[in-house]
Amino acid sequence: MKYKNIDQLLELCQKHNLSISDVALQDTANSMEISTDEVYEKMLQNYLIMKDSIKEGLKKDLKSVSGLTGGGAFKLKTLVDNKKNISGSLMGEIIYSALSTAEYNACMGRIVASPTAGSCGILPACLATLQNHYKFDDKKVVMALINASAIGKIISTNATVSGAEGGCQAECGSASAMIASGIIELFDGTPKMCTDAAAQALKSHLGLVCDPVAGLVEEPCVIRNASSATIAITSAEITLAGIESLIPLDEVIEAMFRVGNQMAPELKETALGGIAICKTAKELEKKILGCN
Amino acid sequence: MNIFDVIGPVMIGPSSSHTAGVVKIGNTCSKILGCKPKIATITFYGSFAETYVGHGSDKAIIAGLLGYTPFDTRIKTSIDDANNLGYNFKIETSNRKTRHPNTVKVVANDANGSQMTIIGESLGGGAISICKINDMKVSLNGDYNTIILKYIDKPGTVKDVSAILYDFNINIATMKVIRISKGGEAIMLLEVDSSIDDVLAKTISSLPFVDDAKFINLI
């Protein structure tokens, strides 16, 4: 059940008539020398922590050490609860849940890096919200998470999920692609549709730079978690409607890696480019870091 | 790599490299010292020196020295915890260039009271490398129990050490031998799958060619 790229993963799915998550579950059990039940249980624990971080991050008076973020998720939830947001309850919940986990991370809360701490809000937001609205059981949601992890593993191996190496497209872009694939499995799409949705999501992130103000995982990281979660939903929607990705996922992953390599170091987590060097950003940086 | 490297680790934010990795470095330092040091001087270099306040790297290294794990919710209050328990940790920064941008140095006394200097690097995603212990260049990721031997380079040393490990039924996960010069000082790093007990430590230490030996139970 070994796979090195998307092509091989899809081939295994087809040959054995399995879902992406089934293949990943088998492969992980084999390589870790544990049972598939143990792999499932371990992933379930991660999912429960994800749900907990959404809940904790929704507190009203949450504030990060720097003071740049915190409390935003609560504000949006209040709007959504009062049916005063634009995009309805499902999209509203996706957005505030992504904000919530990302803000909780900035406030030294406990999160699951997925695939990184900077992009930790995207997977939980999509999974927990869809579970709430469509009443999926934990089993189905955890399998979607395992599906997403298989895509993430291929991206990590063949390209990168590190902002320092590939910019934000590698962190939030990968997370969005991973969960777009997971969502398709939740809604019983085929393995090929999963990877198409992931390709759409990753394409939508190409070129996105990593430019954290003051070098902190807060501005613009928190907001990007929310927008990347919505891109995952968009990608899944269009895929379920039967729109295919003209470029296969393996090639999009390759393109993402190439774009990352072409990016100047200033745009890769060094806080030396992008919005990190705007006048206001520098003023904020001075205020936060003070003595430095 | 497995899927739990992708979905994981479970950690305290905000940064896997500047927070979670730093806790692990602190934690590994305490294990190398063989105790939680009462007094320690911590020096942050590079990116750590620039951004440690906002990332809570100071809280992270102290939490690690106190034995907290990277997913311990008490990391946030570690500085207060340390003060209340009578620990004395000093944080410094340096603008000296280091090999890796995320480097931290910990100077503290070990369990026997002799001073030790440990240098760690946070490699991203929560992964770390302890790259120097006193004057010994090493490379420890903190995930295995480790044996570090300083000895004089000569034929048969690897055979003797591995024979002892075989006798104790201990499996070697990784092994690295670094030689400064032919017939001169050499270092052997062994990461092993089981815990290292006192009898084994004594047996290896008493090998005639071994100058100095360290046994670190990390897991």
pLDDT tens sequence for chain B (219 residues): 899 999 999 999 999 889 999 999 999 999 999 899 999 999 999 989 988 988 999 999 999 999 999 999 999 999 999 999 999 999 999 999 999 889 999 999 988 888 999 999 998 878 899 999 988 888 898 889 999 999 999 999 999 999 999 999 999 999 999 888 899 989 999 999 999 999 999 999 999 999 989 898 887
B9 to chain A, closest Cα gap in Å = 6
Tokens of A44: 């379930």
The bridge status of strand B172-179 relative to strand B103-109 is unpaired
Contact predicate A162/A217, CB 8 Å? no
Whole-angstrom Cα distance, residue B26 to residue B36? 10
Which among A220, A187, A184, A188 is positioned nearest to A199, based on CA atoms? A184
Other CB atoms within 10 A of residue A89 CB: 14
Q: Which residue, chain included where needed, has tokens 């039940």?
A: A37
Which H or E element spans position B201?
Answer: helix B198-205
Q: Record the tokens describing residue B104, joined without a space.
A: 């931290």
Yes or no, beta carbons of A156 and B13 under 8 Å apart: no
Q: Which two tokens stand for residue B160?
A: 């003797």
Q: Determine contact: A34 vs chain B, CB below 8 A.
A: no
For B125, the closest chain A residue by CA position comes to A116
B3 vs A49, A116, A149: nearest CB: A149
Q: Using an 8 Å CB-CB cutoff, list chain A residues near B12.
A: 108-111
User: Above 60 in pLDDT, residue A259?
Assistant: yes
Q: Which residues of B touch A149 (CB under 8 A)?
A: 3-4, 6-7
Q: Please tell me the distance in Å from B61's CA to the nearest CA on chain A.
A: 14
Chain B neighbors of A64, CB-CB under 8 A: 14, 54
CB contact under 8 A, B13 and A117: yes
Q: E strands, B37-95, where?
A: 39-44, 88-93
Cβ of A117 within 8 Å of Cβ of B16? The answer is yes
Q: From A217, which residue of chain B is nearest by alpha-carbon distance?
A: B14
User: How do strand B88-93 and strand B39-44 relate by DSSP bridges?
Assistant: parallel
Find which of A38, A108, A149 to mutate to test the B interface (most B CBs within 10 Å of its CB): A108
Query: If residue B175 lies in a helix (H) or strand (E), which one and from where to where?
Result: strand B172-179
pLDDT number for residue A88 = 98
* Angstroms from A288 CA to nearest CA on chain B: 8
B149: alpha, beta or left, given left = phi > 0 and alpha = psi -120 to 50?
beta
Going by the DSSP 8-state scheme, the letter that residue B154 receives in this structure is -
Distance spanning both ends of chain A, measured CA to CA? 51
pLDDT value of position A289: 74
Which helix (H) or strand (E) element contains residue B159?
helix B157-167
pTM for this predicted structure: 0.88
**B156 Cβ contact partners less than 8 Å away, ≥ 6 residues apart:** none
Pairs across A and B, CB distance < 8 A: 133
What is the Cα–Cα distance from B119 to A149, expressed in whole angstroms? 33
Which residue did the predictor score with more confidence, B176 or A97?
Answer: A97
B1 touches chain A (CB under 8 A): yes
Confidence label for A292 from pLDDT (cuts 50, 70 and 90)? very low
Q: Does A113 touch chain B (CB under 8 A)?
A: yes
